[in-house]
Chains A and B, each alone.
Chain A
Amino acid sequence: MHPLVLERPRDLSAALSFGAQAGRNDAPVEYIAGGTDMVQLLQEYVRRPDRLVSLAGILDDGIEIGPQGLRLGAAATMAEVAAHQAVVEQFPLISQALLNSASPQVRNQATMGGNLLQRTRCPYFRDIGYEACNKRAPGSGCAALDGENRWHAVLGTSDDCIAVHPSDLAVALVALDASVELRGTGGDRSVPLSDLHRLPRDTPHLEAVLEPGEVITAITVPATTAGLRSHYLKVRDRASFEFAVVSAAVAIETDGARIRQARVALGGVGTKPWRLPNVETALAGADFEPAVLRQAAALAAEGTRGRGHNDFKIELMQRAIVRAVEIAGARR
C-alpha cells in the first residue's frame, strides 16, 4: 500500500472540507467507507491516494419507505438492505440483485454508496504489472482491446476502454428509475442514477460525475416502481460469489396476459449500468409468446460491439432478457 494519511473526521461537513474526489482514478484525496473495494485496490497499488478520508460513522445508514418511495442511506450495508422487510416485499429486484452479489462477509461491510462507485473487475485495470490501462494510467492504452476480453463490455465502449461496470445493485436500481442524492460543500443535489456514471469515451479514468468533496448521501427509488413483478437474472461462471458475465434486471406491469410497461437493464455487458428503452418500447403491449419476447430482446443488440472473446455476450444477453421477462411474468 502506498503511504497515506488517514483522516477520521467527526462529522460530514468536516469530511467534505478535505475536497476528496470520488469516481476518478487519479485523485490524491479519496473517501473510504465500507472499504471492501478500496482496500483491495490500495493493496494492489491500483489506487495511490496521499490521503484517505473516512466516512465511517458519519453517513446516514437508514432505510426508509414512505409515500415518495424508498430511501437508502449511503452507509446502509448490502446485507441490511437485502434483508429489509419493505425492500424484500416492495422492491424485491433490489434484494435479489444484492443477494446475488459478493459474499456474506462483504455484504456485511460494503455500503450502498461504495457499491455504486466500486471499480471494474477488468484484470488489466487491477494488475499494475500491465502497463497499458487508460482507466488506471490515462494515455497508456488499453490492453483488453486485443487481449483476454471475454469479460469485457459490448455496450458503451470506446477505443480507449471496454471495462464493464461490475455492480449488480446499480443494474437493478437503474431499471427502477433510482436517483442518488449528493452533498458537497456547495449544497445538495439529486442526480438520476443513469447519469451518475460516465461513458469511458477518451477519459475512462473519470468514472462518475461527482465534484471534488461531493459524496453520495442516499439512493432514492420512486414509489411508482414499488410492487412490480420483477426478476434479476445473473449468469456467471460460478454458482455463487462471482461477478456477472451477463445479468438482466426486469420489472413489468401486466394487463391481463399482456405486458403494459416493462423496465429492462443489463449488467456485465456495459461500461455503465445499461437501460434498454428500445427493448422496453417493444415489450409494451406484448404477450408472453416466446417469439414476441425474442423479437423485442433482439433490439438489445443495437449498438453493440464485440471484441472477439466477448462476442457471445451479444446473443447471451438477449436470451437473458427473455428468460428474466418470462420469470417475472410468472410471479404473483
Chain B
Amino acid sequence: MPGAISPALAQVAGAATPPLDVSLRINGTEHRLSLDPRTTLLDALREHLHLTGSKKGCGLGQCGACTVFMDGMRVKACLSLAALAQGRDIKTIEGLAQGDELHPLQTAFIERDAFQCGYCTSGQIMAGVACISEGHAGSPQEIREWMSGNLCRCGAYDHIVAAIQDAAAVSGSTQGG
C-alpha cells in the first residue's frame, strides 16, 4: 500500500538513539532539554514544552499550521530539527500577545471571523504577522501570494485576507516579528 510503513521499519524507528542536550530560547525564555536527535522543533514545542499553540497538520512543510518565528523570520517548525534551532530566538503564538492585550492581527481574526475549526489559525496568524511586517500586505492579491504557505481546509481565506488587511492598516503596531 502506498504510504504504509512496514512493521519491521516501524520497529527500527522506535529504537533508541543517544539523546542530545539542547537549549532552546522560546518566547524569551531559555529551556534545557534532552532530546532524541530526530525531534523536530514542532515536536519539542508541543510534546516537551507543552506549547501546543503551534499545530501539526501535515508534518511535511505543506500546510503551515506549525509556523513560528526564528530570529524574526517565519519558518515551518515541522521542517526544523530542534537540536539545530539551538542559539536561535524562537517565537510562537503563545508569545505574540502582550499580557492580556492581543496582537492587532489576533483581534482582527476575531472581528473578521477568520476561522472555522481553528486548527490552522495560529499558523495563519504567525504567517500573517510576518506578511505584514515584511511589507507584503499591500493588496488582497499580494496577501494571497505571500500567505500561500498556509492552508485552511475550512476555506476561511476571504476572511483571513480581510483580517490581514485590517491589521496592516494599523501598521506601526503590527511590526510583530
Interface residues, chain A, with chain B CB atoms under 8 Å away:
1-6, 8, 32, 35-36, 39-40, 42-45, 52, 54, 56-57, 79, 102-106, 108-109, 127-130, 239-241
Contacts and interface: CB of A to CB of B under 8 A. Distances in A.
Given A104-B127, A109-B79, A130-B2, A5 B17 contact: yes
A4 B64 CA distance: 26
A105 B83 contact: no
Across chains A and B, which 5 residue pairs bring their CB atoms closest together, nearest first? A103-B149, A6-B37, A129-B2, A240-B148, A241-B148
B79 A129 contact: no
A104 B131 contact: yes
A42 to B, nearest CB: 7
15 contacts: A2-B12, A3-B12, A4-B17, A6-B81, A32-B84, A36-B79, A56-B84, A104-B74, A104-B131, A104-B136, A104-B149, A105-B61, A105-B64, A108-B74, A127-B2
Interface string B138-153: 0000001111111000
- Which size class do B's interface residues fall under? 35 or more
B3 interface: yes
Contact of A43 (B60, B75, B127, B131): B60
Nearest to A123: B2
Given A4-B17, A105-B74, A127-B2, A35 B84 contact: yes
B147 to A, nearest CB: 8
B67 interface: yes
A54 to B, nearest CB: 6
Contacts of A127: 2-3
A106 B79 contact: yes
B40 A129 contact: no
A123 B38 CA distance: 24
A288 B87 CA distance: 54
B18 interface: yes
A5 B148 contact: no
Interface in B68-98: 70, 73-76, 78-81, 83-84, 86-87
B4 interface: yes
B59 interface: yes
Interface of B: 1-5, 9, 12-13, 15-18, 20, 37-38, 40, 59-61, 64, 67, 70, 73-76, 78-81, 83-84, 86-87, 127, 130-131, 134, 136, 144-150
Contact of A79 (B40, B60, B73): B73
Given A35-B79, A109-B70, A109-B75, 6 more contacts: A4-B38, A5-B37, A39-B81, A40-B61, A43-B60, A104-B147
B74 A54 contact: no
A104 B146 contact: yes
Contacts of B15: 3
Contacts of B18: 5
Contact of A36 (B61, B74, B134, B146): B61
A39 B78 contact: yes
Given A105-B74, A129-B1, A40 B60 contact: yes
Nearest to B35: A6
A44 B67 CA distance: 20
Nearest to A83: B134
B84 A108 contact: no
A79 B74 CA distance: 11
A103 B148 contact: yes
A79 B81 CA distance: 20
Contact of A45 (B5, B75, B80): B5
A42 B38 contact: yes
A2 B13 contact: yes
Contact of A109 (B20, B80, B147): B80
Contacts of A6: 20, 37, 81, 83-84
A51 to B, nearest CB: 10
A3 B16 contact: yes
Contacts of B79: 35-36, 39-40, 106, 109
A108 B75 contact: yes
B105 to A, nearest CB: 16
Contacts of B13: 1-3, 45
Nearest to A99: B145
Nearest to A1: B38
